[in-house]
Every structure is written in C-alpha cells, then in structure tokens.
Structure 1
Amino acid sequence: MTRTMSTEAQLRWLSACYFFFFAILGVMVPYLGVFFDARGFNASEIGLLLAILMATRILAPNLWAMVADRTGMRAELIKLGAGAGALTYVSFFYPGSFGYMALSLAIYTFFWNAILAQLEVITLETLGDRAHRYGIIRSYGSLGYICLVVGAGFAIGQWGPEILPYIGMTLFVGMLASCLPLPANRVKVEAEAAGGFSLRGPIAWFLLSAILLQMSAGPFYGFFVLYLKQAGYTEFAAGLAVALGVVAEILMFMLAPRLLGRYGSKPLMFISILLTSARWLMMAFGVDSLFWLALSQSLHAFTFGLVHAASIQFIHQQFDSRRRSQGQALYASLSFGVGGAIGTWLCGHIWGIDPSLCWVFAAVCALLAALAVLPLPGRVKPN
C-alpha cells in the first residue's frame, strides 16, 4: 500500500490490528498459567513468569513512545513490534528451564507491548474530526479477545496446553500481516519541542483516576473465576460470565461515538466509574444471585468500554501531536500496569482475610477514581 490509501481502507487495516492484538491478549491472560503449569512449573514460578508480562507492560510502552514522539515513526514501530514479536515468539516452542522461559517471555512481550500506544495514536489521527468513531474501530479488539478466549479454551480442551504456542504464532503472523499495509505517514517533530511534558493539572488528575480505577479491577483480573468457584459456580458458568462482560463492552463501543459526541468525556467517565463502584459492591454482597452477577458483568460496558473510549479521547485532546504516543503510553502503563499490579497484589493479601472484602476495597478505589475525575475540564468533547 502507499500513502494514497483511502481513510476507510486504513481504518479497516487498523481494525484488523486491534483484532489480532487483543486476540493475543485473549490467549495469554486466561491460559498462560495453564500452559506453564503443563510445562511443570510450580505456583511460585508461574506467578513470577506472569509478573514479567505485567512488568514489560509498564516499561515497554514508555520506551517505545519516546522513540515514536522523537522520530515521528509510529506505523514503523507497530510493524517492528509485530515482526520482532513474531520472530522472538518462536522461542516459546522450546520447553526450556524457568530462566529460559522468563527470558523468552520478557523479550517477545517487550516488542508486543510496543504496538498498542502507537495504534491508538494512528487510529485517532486517521479519524481526525471523526474521532468519536474510535469506539467502533476499537470494538474489533474486544471481538478478537472474546473469539480467542472461547476458541483457545476449546482448542486446549481438545489438544492440550501445548497447542497454545501454535495459536499464538498464528495470531502474531496475523498481526504482522494486518499492520504491514499501514502507510508510514510520519509526524514531523521539532527536536527542541519533542521533550517531556508536565504531569500537572488535568493530566495528573486523569492519571490518578485511571490508576485508582485499575486498582479497583484487581480482584476482577486476578480472582474473579476463583471467587465464583467458591460461590458454587462451575468454570463453564464463570466463562459465560466473562463472555457476557465482553459482549456488553463491544455493544458499548458501538454506542460510545454517539454518547461522546453528545456529552463529552468528563461526565461519561464520572458516571461510568460510579457505576463501577456499584458493580463491585454487587460482587461483594450479591454473588450468590445469578441476577446480580449478570447485572454486575453487564456493567463491564461502563467499567472498561465507555471509560476507555472516553479516556482515549481525553488523552488525544490533552497531548499535542508531538507527545501523543507518550500520553497513550503513560495511560497504558500507569493504569493497566501500575494500577492493575497494585490492585492485584493488595487483593492477594486481603483475600486471606475475607474474599468479599476484596470487592469492598475495589468499590472504595472506584469511588476515589470517580472523585479524581471532578477536577477535569467540563464537557471535553472529541476533536
């Protein structure tokens, strides 16, 4: 493809990139622990290996963003990340020692984590004054996630956990094939203007809210299935509950453009995070009821879908074109990386006291996250 690629054609390729990126996540998050267990690693070793995935998610996006904002190379970095990720993922096929697997995981996730922040920036710059359509494009990522959560689970049930590297390699190749046609429309950056930025005012409050929100998601990401099993649900029922949440998320991504265009980012973030606080209280006190469980999972449309769409819009408006990669990387690493890690770690300690207290802790974190939204500029609308 050339630079003359139409906007709609580029958006189709970007949608495919989202699909494969989050499809890879849909394989790694639920099933990587199962894969390592089948390879003979104990619980402590598996925990350390999964921590590497979190650590690279904190470090890699910011390092790659510095390169992107200084050079203007964004599509190139997506291609480099996908290509190098696919190449280094080959090492995952070899059943090596703990040290070998740790190194393999660190290398390929370092390249894989280079992709998302640049993908977000390119998508919003391609949309231009139609940035409110972001949710529709991003929904393909949610579709990829749910397809692989279900598909990989079926495949592992049929052929065992050793099928996972083959699934992963197929998805990495699909990611590379989807990003290669993207035109290299570099953003020209003045050297003296490509430096840092001040984490004060609205940006500081926004990032604090994002960290607190992902802290609140700690028990969901780390202990949701275990919590449901203790409440008497089967693994299949827990899987259906996860699927319900992702379906709600996809539907919200479809509605998000209209909502963002009418109300702007701030009120939607505030309301969504308040609903998230209510959602965690439902998990604390209503998990035995199928109705409250289903309602709680339906609110994932707000917890992630609408909050994320509004957050991406907010970052795109608050950071100029020279620093947007850094802005998206900060959001990803501080919220999903730091916030998620702290929330999961704290819930690991609270769990031993009373599992339901994890969800009360989550509700308090979400309430604080909602309060941190209040100082943001009012009715920030898409460009």
Structure 2
Amino acid sequence: MPVNALSGEGKAHTRTNLILLAVTYWLYFGQLGVLVPYLGIFLDGRGFSSADIGNLFAVITLSRIIGPSIWAGLADRTGKALQILRLGCLLSALCFGLVFFVTGFWGLTLAFGLMMMFWTAVLPQLEVITMKSVSPTNTSYGQIRLWGSIGFIILTVGVGKGLDLTSTELPVYASILILSLLFLSSLFLTQPALKTNFNEVSGSLWRCISTRPFLIFMISATLLQISFGPYYGFFALYMRDLNYSGQQTGLLIALGVLAEVGIFLIAQRLIRQFGVWLLLMLCLLLTAVRWYALAGWADIGWIVVVTQLIHALSFGLNHATSVHFIHHYLPAQYHGRGQALYIGIAFGFGGAFGNFGAGQLWQDGTNSYTTFAIAALSCLAGALVLLLVRPKNMDSGY
C-alpha cells in the first residue's frame, strides 16, 4: 500500500505531519514564554502581594507532582498518546478561560491549578509522538524541537514589548489565544503506532529508584529546582523594580533560552566526554554563582546578561544530562515513568517549595538579596549532596 494511502502510520512520517509537530512545539513553548516570565506581573497588576504570588505559584506547581505520572501511566497502558495530548490541550484552554471570570486568590489558584494539571498531559505525549514520527525519516528530533525554543523567544520578547505599551492583563489574553491555537494544531496531528506495556515485574521500579545513585540524583535535582523559585516567580518584577523595561526583560529571558538551545546541540558530546556527575556538579556550582550575582549586582546590565547566559547550564545542560542519566540508568520499560518521577518530584515538589519560600521572603522586593542568596545556598547544598555518590556510579546502569 502506498504511504499516502495509509490512515495512520504512513501519514505520521510525512513532511506535513512533521511541520505540524514543529508548529505544536512553537505554540506549546510559546505559551510558556508568555506565562512563566509574566504571570507575576499579571498578578501584581491584579493587586496581589508578593506572598500571595508565591503561594499561588506554589499551589499550581503542586499539580506537576502527580500530573505527569498519571498521564504517562495512562499513555503507556493504552497507547493513545495523541488522544491524551488533545484532551490536555482542550482542558488546559477551558480551565485557563476561568481567569476572565474570577478575581480572588482561590478562584485564580483553582483556574491555574486545573490548567497546569491538564497541561502536564501535553509535552510527554508530544515528545513520544515526535520521536516515533521522525525515526524513519531524515529529520532529527532536534530540528523539530528547535521550533519550541523559537516560539518561546518570539513570544517572550513580543509580550515584553507589549507590556510597555498596554496593560498587565496582556499575558492572559495572549495565553488564551495561544492555548486555543494549540488545541487546533493538535487536531491535525497523526500518531504513529505505539506499543503498550502491560507486563511488569511488581516492585522492580521501586528497586531501581531506591538505589543510592538515583536517590542522590533526585535530591540534588530537587534542590536545584527549589533554587529557581525566585527566578520563575519574581525575575520580571525584579527587573521592573530595577528600571529595566518590559522589552529589555523579554530580551534577557530570550537570551537565556538562546543559550539553552546552543548547549542542547553539544550536550551529548559533553556528556560522553565528561560524564554525568561532573556536569551536574558544574551546573549546580555555576547556578549558585548565577543566583548570588543576581542577589548583589542585578542593577548592572552586563552582569545580568552573564547570569542569563549561565541558563545554558542551569537548565539546558543540567536537563539534558538528567534525561540522559535516567535513560541509561533505568531499564527501558521504566524510562517513561522515570522521567515522570523526575519531573514530578524535582520540578513539581521542588518548584512548589521554591515558589512558596520565595513568596514568603520576597516582601515586594525588599528582601531580594536574601531571597536570591538563599537560592544560591540551595544550589550549593545540591552540589554537596552529589559528593555522597561515586562519579562512576552515575555513568553506569542499574
């Protein structure tokens, strides 16, 4: 049967489907480029205090603890990754729409929390579909994924400039438009055949993740994500308080993402040459320097530029190395749930705790030095934890 006559498997590998996947990445990460940097500014415009903003960030981040595991387990057992992705896109848009009808703390927390719960269904399934779709083609995963970073950069800079010209409500109007387009793009995607996994040995996953190298890795990763609390919650507000324009803030955030894209291109080569342990240690130590520099000298433009370039290590290299570690340390049948565990605990619990703590400390910017200094100490603690495991044990499988 000709490829173009196939209803599913063949169409999944066509140029049209690959372009649609690139568009979907553009919209997905474009939405993050709007919401992550500027949600704090939106909430500040609604009259919320820094403690309220930190608490709201913490509550909605908690959904990342349980969400990824639920969706990953469901996709593994049913093989219906595309249906789960579409459902996540639709319900994310509908839940986000509640923002236009509620004004109080708990109403907005519920809207953002529900949105985040369904949002966690999107990316893992998109990654699986993309990896399977590009496998028999001449297109690489990186060529598709790159468009997500481009979307993040364009929308971060665009909305940052828009904030100089309009109101603090702009991020939510941009977000609902992007979420709607994301759902529409998902309707045109085609899913390749995916295998389901019903046969498991009870307790095997627990035995793998309870080993010393994996536990040390998770504790260190969580401490790193805790340190991101001030950055994700208050960086844009911090820049505004220091008289940076919205456009300048958008460009600074975009610079960090550009640096992240660059490091992704050489990450595998660095991992092969230096190993997991050394790269994780380097990322933690330089991220500690990054946060302390923001604590003391964020009013100096070139220093902020350098701290944003370090984002290539704080997120880009660290994340690539972490994904590599999980993929090579855990048996193949546990890769999906291992990644979900990493996202849930490190980004979910760690992110929620970091956001909550930053919100309590920030005090409308009066404690910015203390908040970022504590974030630096969290990174140093993560580096010290890594000393409890031998480097070679993080480069070998379970």
What code does the residue aligned with 1:2 have?
G
Provide the rounded CA distance (Å) in 1 between the counterparts of 2:97 and 2:52. 21
Task: Tell me how far 1:17 sits from its aligned partner.
Answer: 3.0
2:371 counterpart letter in structure 1: C
Alpha-carbon offset, residue 214 of structure 1: 0.9
* Deviation by residue 1:206-237 (Cα, 9 ceiling, x = unmatched): 21111011112222223334444555645554
SS in 1 for 2:9: coil
TM-fit CA distance, 1:115: 1.5
Q: Residue 356 of structure 1: which of 366, 369, 377 is its match?
A: 369
Please name the residue that 2:257 is paired with.
246
Choose from 287, 306, 312 the match for 1:276.
287
1:81: which partner in 2? 88
Superposition pairs of residues 1-383 of structure 1, within 5 angstroms: 2-4=8-10, 5-6=12-13, 12-36=19-43, 40=46, 42-43=48-49, 49-94=56-101, 100-124=107-131, 137-158=144-165, 160-180=167-187, 181-193=189-201, 197-198=205-206, 199-201=209-211, 202-229=213-240, 233-260=244-271, 262-351=273-362, 354-373=367-386, 375=389, 377=392, 380=395
Q: Distance in 2 between matches of 1:266 and 1:8?
A: 39
Give the % identical residues. 35
Q: Whole-Å Cα distance in 1 between the matches of residues 23 and 268 of structure 2? A: 19
Distance in 1 separating the partners of 2:202 and 2:180: 33
Q: Is 2:152–2:254's contact at 8 Å kept on the other side of the alignment?
A: no
Q: 1:186 is aligned with what amino acid? A: L
**Post-superposition offset of 1:12:** 4.7
1:149 CA drift (Å)? 1.6
C-alpha deviation, 1:336, in angstroms: 1.9
1:319-356 per-residue CA deviation (whole Å, 9 max, x = no partner) reads 44433332222222222221122223333444468532
| Superposition deviation, residue 281 in structure 1 | 2.9
Q: Is the CA contact 1:16–1:178 (under 8 Å) kept in the aligned structure 2?
A: yes
**Contact 2:54 2:355 (8 Å CA) reproduced:** no
Q: Which amino acid aligns with 1:221?
A: Y
Do the aligned partners of residues 231 and 35 (structure 1) sit closer, same or farther apart at CA in structure 2, a change above 3 Å counting? closer
1:296-341 deviations in Å (ceiling 9; x for gaps): 2211111111111222222223344433332222222222221122
Aligned partner letter, 1:31? Y
Contact 1:69–1:326 (Cα < 8 Å) also in 2: no
Amino acid at match of 2:383: A
Q: TM-score, normalised by structure 1?
A: 0.82
Larger displacement relative to structure 2 (151-160 or 245-254): 151-160
Q: Distance in 2 between matches of 1:290 and 1:368?
A: 28
**Structure 1 unaligned spans of 5+:** none
- Paired residues, what number? 379
Residue 72 of structure 1, CA deviation? 3.5
Give the superposition deviation at 1:99. Answer: 5.3
Distance verdict in 2 for CA 1:73–1:371, change over 3 Å: farther
Q: TM-score, normalised by structure 2?
A: 0.79
